[in-house]
């Protein structure tokens, strides 16, 4: 939530709310109850938990404090479905979310309907703009969980030797190789960050000045074709390309290709939400960690961009591309800076100058994660389009790979 | 499978088969698909896996080798649902059984029906007695998994803070305290083990001689009342009562009462398949490890019996009691040596003299586990009655507690 | 300490004491202070700790309670140098013994001299036979630590890529292959265990009856030549030969040969206390776990003997062989049942019938370890000869390999 | 090594070399051989290893490539004493440095003398300026290891319940409480980083522009008195003050005070290189992690400075204070921004714009650590004074505490 955001009108908030809630239901529609139980690692959560947690968010932060007549269907859900909001009370162990068989999927759907009706009721009465602003925040929160829901599902299903498909397979278009080009930027004293108009998360502001030396940034992300060249050049076996922590992680987890890749009959295959498919050479590489992205950039004689470079380079391009809305659910060849894959930057996730999180539990949304993680920009094929703005910052630990994570090269301007 | 067992007639085998298969279905009937996904630790398996694995057993060891026309609905199930039979091929990782959402519960039920029909067909044609013997083995195998299914389910559900019930709660009968008495036995050169008449597992034979000094054995198991006295006397805090490995495990896992117990409003409560209930003082104590049982016996100035002592003391009592067939699914006050809880003996699970496992994968059934585990005797409220014989040996690691595990005291005869 | 042992005369105890204490010093003489700090795993202790702990044993159990004028040089040593005697008070963490640089080696030697002088004084005055019996126990305790001292040192030095020698290298004699033969025994109702004459540990008694079926036992231990045949036949890669727990451990620790073996220029080499040396084909195989020994026996169509079989087979042979006293410190070709290597039996370490540990901390000596471990018989090239009797039982966990551990085959008598 | 550094003259380099080498020897002089073996965690190394590794650095990077007649006393030392230079070949496992008893301390001293003589010889001949520059780098490298040597020793000795002293205890001066004041800075477009004059590490450059908003920085570090107020206010128990990763670490390691603190008779004590001492209220707090420092600053309504803020605030103050040279080896009350304790900044350790590490193994010095770590500024009581420049950046992981780590507050300028 941005420090000084103009609250939406109640009817706008209600419309957004209905749309987002329906989209989450649609994402879960193809799943059997068994599928919604999968939790394959602590970082990932079961689909059923995402359904309930996003609902709890509205209940906890809007209905309980602001709706006098609201009654929860089960007060114990507050314990089960809080994720990490310390100020909202104790919560169930994160690594045991897959052990909650009850409430089952029908009961969780009832819980959603119950909260939806109460929110409809509350917003229908108009009410204060603070509520509409919180509903908007809850909708953006739920959009983030839509992205997690599908990527967590991919991770969960990937442990099944039958390699089941979430959506029907469909051939990838055959495209031409796009040569790598770079565009120069003059740098200088620039302003980045959100200026408070329209919705944004707290961590996107305050807007502030920062100095950039002249730089160049690639016109397209690194592709699978590029990545295979790196692999064939021994990139995964050459310690001098890697950060020390990255090299150690590579060894512990036996990395020799992106996550979900394997070699079969002389070809590289990858597992996707549409099942197994041959690696498409011209699609952006995906499911690589920061450590791998950084090693690749070093091998390529380049570097990753900073988040400020990324923002100034692309903020004037329209935010459109292969997002969750397209339903592809996998990176496609071609495409601009937005969509397909998140792009690692070399910027650690730190507070912008004069950053202050909001008071209360909502202030835990981003601020307490501002250490050990790296910023990514751009959005992926699992990200709802409506979630993205030029100032949007997402962040992951440098070893993580299960999200739709790729990269784009940058370099210092040649003098 | 006993070394020299009389094979049942095909119609007997078929009748047993139908009965056992139907009982497994009945055990799963109250579960939602989500419940059948729970795997709360590597030692436990999801109910859906038990349904499929017991079916695979018949497919792998009978239908594939002996039924010419048999076709599996999915050959990949052999990988998913093999438990530990190395000679039957590679298998899915044991600790990831909870990540198999597909095949879902309906598909697993179809798999069962498919195999049931093929077995019906095969046995209906009569055929050789080897098949009937293997069917009988498969039925006993499935009965063991019935016991695991309900105890694994208890463990899985216990991680849910809502403490759901598998079966409806029902009050426990109020009973009188039964004073502890001991019965003497003369010992001498005795014979124990199975003699080959009727079904038995390989590890129950050969029947052999062993020497016993005179001993006394308690007339009833240790009760919850007894156990609370031990707890109140500081039994969990006195290292001198414990085996060294037990004391270390106690510390690592913070044991201060049996598994599933907690203190609430001045009373001890326990979680059962019928939901939370106050600890019944006169029911046998349950869910204690060997380490705890051994420490208790030392505190009580007694010891655990050997398995030979147990067998000669009780083999002439009819095998009847509170078994899975009763549907109580929790230990009840009163009762004889059979049923309610397994009773730890002080005997490590080792081969009887001249033991030879059968050839082939079936020989992996018991033999490869003959180290590091302790024998228990008697059967529990989760054990099918038909599974038990006086020579039956079950075995668990000394730290395990999730089965229905209790104890009975013994001591050397007073001279 | 046996339940009913005849105490030695004070002058006998004093003579034994002086001899044992001097031998320990001699073992440490070739070591630099740095060498005496090595602790390479929790199971092993630094040589300096062994020096101090054996001294503490005399101080704690004899001097403090029985010598009115005794003053310890540092009361805090009781915390540092207690091993596991709960009743003797709290103690330093076992896995951090290698982090105690002070007291240094000279100070530990002063501690030894201080205690030696006080014991000399106490025994010189005659005094009650209880003291002489405790001194005898302390000497046997110290002899056990002599064995640990050299085997722990071997383990510690083995982590040094320079592969340093504790004692000078010396070529092994070249010998003829000894064919494998078996000797039959009639079995029957036999008596085993210590009868109370002369020193023995508590766990060696009471002497008791046990039934043995007729059996055959090999005339020599399994040799390195035998073991290489097992390795070449794929013994380490064939799961059907292994106990389930053993197969898992083999995988976790990547076993493909005995501990300390490696392949170099087409030959097998092994690291010993006399430095690296080619594997001597006719020496007993050493540094194999129970799991490996059991798998070998299965591969060889035989089994391991029980400890009762071992005892009745060899108790009439004189206890003489390649012990610590010989100074070889490695198994040599040839030799009888005693010395060279401990021989794994198939018997878990359990109490003999009617076993009662003594009262007090001394009762912790053996009793609390009677679970999860297996008995070995015979003694090794690191064992002091004076420590061994026909009834002597040592015990280790089935995965342990750092002691001088080998095996001998047995089989059921052919009818 | 700075990108464009003026090489020292050979006689300057030789003088520095002799001085640094002698200081290392002096640091080890009070230690027994046993003390030099201590390795209490993977992050710390034994003193003997530091002695040898710093020597290997000169051998590997100067003598082997540049001194034609040089012969190593043992070529295997290159394996034992390489720390992390992948390009210099394979190396011994970092967590097993404490298991290298041989070469012993005398042999390591001989190794030092051997290398010293060869360096003397090489520099005495004059030779090319590249050698003098490498010697200078080696001396700075050795100064870093002097700091590690004493802090690793503190950690190692702290595991000894006897709490031995490295240097004699000496009372701390009693001082007056210094009130907390802040000094404002105008910020703006500033330049930071090393400009290439005199020695600097590669990561200190290139000098570059950066934008700073106006800020205020505290006049003194946070003291123990301050810290106790934080503790008494429940700072260690209030999750809302902590970064999420910090809160998790706090729980795993049971932090409730700085490392080496304990409560005794109503007072806080701390373990130091001069033995146990009461916590001096006006000395800077030490041995706190980044997580703790960050939580403290939040509690105090302030924040940590960025490294650019720190540099511009203090770069004009003379670099003088309580460094290793003083021999105090513990933070003292009073003092300026330099010395006593390193001060955590909120800046992740990242490359400065246009940073390029040098070619070859020397390029691994800093560059490969530029992820997951935080920058500290100022130097500590364990840092050699000659090692520090205003641009000096040290870095540690946010959970680490064994170095002399403290903090200073900053805040945004009040408008």
Q: In angstroms, what is the C-alpha Rg of chain D? A: 22
Nearest to C354 among B209, B213, B245 (CB): B213
Length of chain A equals 415
The label of the residue with tokens 């036999």 reads C190
Quote the pLDDT of residue A4.
44
Residue D174: strand, helix, or coil: coil
- Percent of chain C, pLDDT > 90? 88
Give dist(CA C275, CA A290) in Å, integer.
Answer: 46
Task: Write out the two tokens for B347.
Answer: 């005997």
What are the chain D neighbours of A210 within 8 Å (beta carbons)?
210-211
Give dist(CA C395, CA C102) in Å, integer.
Answer: 32
Give dist(CA B315, CA B391) in Å, integer.
Answer: 8
- The pLDDT tens digits along chain B (415 residues) read 443 456 899 999 999 999 999 999 999 999 999 999 999 999 999 999 999 999 999 999 999 999 999 999 999 999 999 998 888 888 999 999 999 999 999 999 999 999 999 999 999 887 688 899 999 999 999 999 999 999 999 999 999 999 999 999 999 988 889 999 999 999 999 999 999 889 999 999 999 999 999 999 999 999 999 999 999 999 999 999 999 999 999 999 999 999 999 999 999 999 999 999 999 999 999 999 999 999 999 999 999 999 999 999 999 999 999 999 999 999 999 877 999 999 999 999 999 999 999 888 888 889 999 999 999 999 999 999 999 999 999 999 999 999 999 999 999 997 6
Contact A207, A192 (CB under 8 A): yes
Mean pLDDT of D281-292: 98
- Touching subunits for chain D (3+ Cβ pairs under 8 A): A, C
- Nearest CA to CA, how far is A72 from chain B (Å)? 15
Give dist(CA C330, CA C380) in Å, integer.
Answer: 9
CB contact under 8 A, D412 and A346: no
Nearest to D33 among C32, C103, C157 (CB): C32
**Which residues lie below 8 Å from residue B22, measured CB to CB, with a gap of 6+?**
none
The DSSP secondary structure of B361-414, one letter per residue, reads: GGGGTTGGG-SS-EEEES--TTS-GGG--TT--EEE-TT--SS-EE---EEEPP
Residue D221, CA distances (Å) to B22, D172, D224, D242 in order: 75, 18, 10, 20
Taking 80 as the threshold, does the pLDDT of residue A138 lie above it?
Answer: yes
Tell me which residue of D414, D283, D258, D274 sits closest to D341, measured CA to CA. Answer: D283
Residue B125, CA distances (Å) to B15, B20, C36 in order: 14, 20, 76
The sign of the CA dihedral C310, C315, C319, C324 is positive
Contact B249, B289 (CB under 8 A): yes
Tell me which residue of A383, A382, A392, A375 sits closest to A315, measured CA to CA. Answer: A392
- Which residues on neighbouring strands pair with residue D211, listed in sequence order? D189
* B-chain residue closest to A74, CA distance: B162
Contact D48, D42 (CB under 8 A): no
Q: Within an 8 Å CB–CB cutoff, is residue B356 touching chain A? A: no
- Percent of chain D, pLDDT > 70? 98
Nearest to A368 among D243, D346, D368 (CB): D243
CB contact under 8 A, C243 and B368: yes
- Nearest CA to CA, how far is D273 from chain C (Å)? 14
What are the chain A neighbours of D415 within 8 Å (beta carbons)?
none
Taking 90 as the threshold, does the pLDDT of residue C181 lie above it?
Answer: yes
Query: Dihedrals φ, ψ of D121, to 5°?
Result: -60, -50
- Nearest CA to CA, how far is C2 from chain B (Å)? 19
What are the chain A neighbours of D371 within 8 Å (beta carbons)?
243, 245-246, 290-291, 294, 374, 398
Mean pLDDT of C91-119: 96
Give dist(CA C351, CA A54) in Å, integer.
Answer: 59
Taking 70 as the threshold, does the pLDDT of residue A250 lie above it?
Answer: yes
Contact C174, C322 (CB under 8 A): no
Give dist(CA A256, CA A246) in Å, integer.
Answer: 13
- Nearest CA to CA, how far is C90 from chain D (Å)? 12
Q: Within an 8 Å CB–CB cutoff, is residue A96 touching chain B? A: yes
Q: Within an 8 Å CB–CB cutoff, is residue B350 touching chain C? A: yes
**Region class of C404: left (phi > 0), else alpha (psi between -120 and 50), else beta:** beta
Quote the pLDDT of residue D5.
54
Give dist(CA A19, CA A116) in Å, integer.
Answer: 12
Give dist(CA C39, CA D31) in Å, integer.
Answer: 20
- Nearest CA to CA, how far is C201 from chain D (Å)? 33
Nearest to A38 among B35, B79, B99 (CB): B99
> How are beta strands A342-348 and D208-212 bridged, if at all?
unpaired
Greatest Cα pair distance in chain B: 67
The DSSP secondary structure of D48-102, one letter per residue, reads: HHHHHHHHHHHIIIIIHHH-TT---S-TTHHHHH--S-GGG-----GGGGGG---
Contact C187, B210 (CB under 8 A): no
Q: Within an 8 Å CB–CB cutoff, is residue C93 touching chain B? A: no
Contact A278, A166 (CB under 8 A): no
Nearest to D162 among C34, C38, C76 (CB): C76
CB pairs under 8 A between C and D: 90
- Touching subunits for chain B (3+ Cβ pairs under 8 A): A, C
**Which residues lie below 8 Å from residue B104, measured CB to CB, with a gap of 6+?**
A32, A33, A34, A35, B33, B48
Mean pLDDT of A244-254: 97
Mean pLDDT of C227-256: 97
Quote the pLDDT of residue C360.
84
Residue D305: strand, helix, or coil: coil
Give dist(CA A326, CA A339) in Å, integer.
Answer: 10
Task: Write out the two tokens for C171.
Answer: 């070529």
Quote the pLDDT of residue B126.
73
Taking 70 as the threshold, does the pLDDT of residue D4 lie above it?
Answer: no
∠ CA A27-A168-A282, nearest 5°, is 100
Query: Dihedrals φ, ψ of B149, to 5°?
Result: -55, -45
What are the chain D neighbours of A291 within 8 Å (beta carbons)?
371
What are the chain C neighbours of B307 within 8 Å (beta carbons)?
none
Q: Which residue has the higher pLDDT, B23 or C8?
A: B23
Q: Within an 8 Å CB–CB cutoff, is residue A157 touching chain B? A: yes
Tell me which residue of D177, D208, D205 sits closest to D190, measured CA to CA. Answer: D208
∠ CA B215-B217-B218, nearest 5°, is 155
Give dist(CA B220, CA A116) in Å, integer.
Answer: 57
pTM of the model: 0.96
Q: Is the peptide bond before C103 cis (omega within 30 degrees of 0)?
A: yes
* Distance between first and last Cα of chain C: 41
- Nearest CA to CA, how far is D292 from chain C (Å)? 27
Residue C26, CA distances (Å) to A170, B325, C48 in order: 78, 69, 13
CB contact under 8 A, A160 and B99: yes
User: What integer best gives the mean pLDDT of chain C?
Assistant: 95
Give dist(CA D5, CA D9) in Å, integer.
Answer: 12
* C-chain residue closest to D99, CA distance: C38
Mean pLDDT of C137-141: 97
- pLDDT tens track for D73-109: 999 999 999 998 888 888 899 999 999 999 999 999 9
Task: Write out the two tokens for D114.
Answer: 């051997």
Task: Write out the two tokens for D267.
Answer: 């007072």
What are the chain A neighbours of B32 within 8 Å (beta carbons)?
33, 101-102, 104
Does chain C reach chain B with at least 3 CB pairs under 8 Å?
A: yes
Residue B270: strand, helix, or coil: strand
Give dist(CA D321, CA D319) in Å, integer.
Answer: 7
Give dist(CA B409, CA B302) in Å, integer.
Answer: 6
Task: Write out the two tokens for B117.
Answer: 């029909």
Quote the pLDDT of residue B5.
55
The label of the residue with tokens 């001991």 reads B182
At the second CATH level, the architecture of A182-412 is Alpha-Beta Complex (3.90)
Q: Within an 8 Å CB–CB cutoff, is residue C216 touching chain B? A: no
Give dist(CA A317, CA A297) in Å, integer.
Answer: 24
CB contact under 8 A, D348 and A353: no
* A-chain residue closest to B37, CA distance: A34
Quote the pLDDT of residue B206.
96
The DSSP secondary structure of C137-148, one letter per residue, reads: HHHHHHHHHHHH
CB contact under 8 A, C160 and D105: no
Q: Within an 8 Å CB–CB cutoff, is residue D347 touching chain C? A: no
Does chain B reach chain A with at least 3 CB pairs under 8 Å?
A: yes
ipTM topping 0.90: yes
- Which residues on neighbouring strands pair with residue C262, listed in sequence order? C269
> How are beta strands A208-212 and A215-218 bridged, if at all?
unpaired
* B-chain residue closest to C351, CA distance: B346
Nearest to A38 among B101, B159, B162 (CB): B101
Q: Label residues D225-247 b or e (16+ Cβ within 10 Å = b).
A: bbbbebbeeebbeebebbbbbbb
Residue D1's pLDDT band, with cuts at 50, 70 and 90, is very low
CB pairs under 8 A between A and B: 90
Quote the pLDDT of residue B272.
98
Give dist(CA D366, CA C50) in Å, integer.
Answer: 43
Distance from the Cα of residue B72 to its chain's centroid: 30
CB atoms within 10 A of CB B68: 7
Taking 90 as the threshold, does the pLDDT of residue D361 lie above it?
Answer: no
CB contact under 8 A, A209 and D210: no
Q: Residue A73 carries which DSSP code?
A: S
CB pairs under 8 A between B and C: 77
Taking 70 as the threshold, does the pLDDT of residue A80 lie above it?
Answer: yes
Quote the pLDDT of residue C85.
87
The sign of the CA dihedral D289, D291, D295, D301 is positive
Taking 90 as the threshold, does the pLDDT of residue D372 lie above it?
Answer: yes
The sign of the CA dihedral B152, B154, B155, B157 is positive
> Domain residue spans in chain B?
10-157, 182-412
What are the chain C neighbours of B87 within 8 Å (beta carbons)?
240
Taking 80 as the threshold, does the pLDDT of residue D415 lie above it?
Answer: no
* C-chain residue closest to D95, CA distance: C40
Q: Within an 8 Å CB–CB cutoff, is residue B38 touching chain A? A: yes
Taking 80 as the threshold, does the pLDDT of residue C1 lie above it?
Answer: no
Tell me which residue of D106, D85, D93, D83 sits closest to D36, measured CA to CA. Answer: D106
> How are beta strands D342-348 and D275-278 bridged, if at all?
unpaired
Tell me which residue of C251, C396, C392, C255 sits closest to C315, measured CA to CA. Answer: C392
* C-chain residue closest to D75, CA distance: C162
């Amino acid at each position: 939530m941005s420090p000084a955001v103009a609250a939406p009108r109640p009817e706008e908030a209600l419309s957004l709310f209905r749309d987002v809630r329906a989209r989450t239901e649609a994402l879960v529609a193809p799943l059997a109850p068994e599928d919604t139980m999968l939790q394959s690692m602590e970082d990932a959560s079961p689909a059923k938990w995402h359904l309930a947690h996003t609902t709890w968010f509205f209940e906890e932060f809007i209905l309980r404090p602001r709706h006098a007549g609201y009654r929860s269907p089960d007060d114990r859900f507050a314990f089960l479905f809080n994720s990490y909001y310390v100020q909202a009370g104790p919560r169930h162990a994160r690594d045991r979310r897959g052990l909650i068989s009850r409430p089952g999927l029908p009961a969780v759907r009832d819980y959603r309907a119950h909260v939806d009706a109460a929110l409809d009721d509350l917003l229908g009465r108009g009410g204060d703009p603070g509520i509409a602003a919180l509903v908007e925040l809850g909708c953006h929160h739920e959009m983030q969980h839509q992205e997690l829901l599908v990527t967590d599902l991919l991770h969960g299903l990937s442990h099944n030797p039958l390699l089941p498909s979430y959506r029907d397979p469909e051939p990838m278009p055959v495209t031409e190789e796009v040569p790598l080009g770079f565009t120069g930027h003059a740098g200088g004293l620039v302003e980045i960050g959100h200026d408070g108009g329209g919705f944004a998360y707290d961590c996107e502001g305050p807007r502030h000045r920062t100095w950039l030396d002249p730089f160049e940034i690639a016109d397209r992300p690194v592709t699978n074709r590029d990545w295979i060249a790196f692999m064939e050049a021994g990139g995964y076996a050459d310690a001098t390309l890697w950060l020390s922590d990255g090299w150690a992680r590579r060894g512990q987890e036996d990395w020799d290709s992106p996550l979900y890749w394997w070699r079969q009959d002389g070809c590289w295959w990858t597992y996707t939400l549409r099942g197994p498919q041959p690696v498409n050479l011209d699609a952006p590489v995906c499911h690589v960690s920061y450590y791998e992205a950084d090693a690749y950039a070093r091998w390529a004689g380049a570097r990753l961009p900073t988040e400020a470079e990324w923002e100034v380079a692309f903020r004037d391009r329209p935010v459109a591309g292969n997002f969750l809305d397209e339903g592809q659910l996998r990176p496609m060849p071609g495409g601009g800076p937005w969509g397909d894959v998140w792009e690692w930057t070399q910027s650690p996730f730190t507070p912008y100058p004069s950053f202050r999180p909001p008071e209360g539990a909502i202030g835990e949304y981003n601020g307490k994660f501002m250490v050990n993680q790296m910023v990514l920009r751009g959005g992926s094929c699992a990200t709802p389009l409506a979630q993205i703005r030029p100032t949007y910052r997402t962040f992951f630990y440098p070893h993580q790979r299960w999200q739709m994570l790729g990269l784009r090269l940058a370099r210092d301007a040649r003098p």
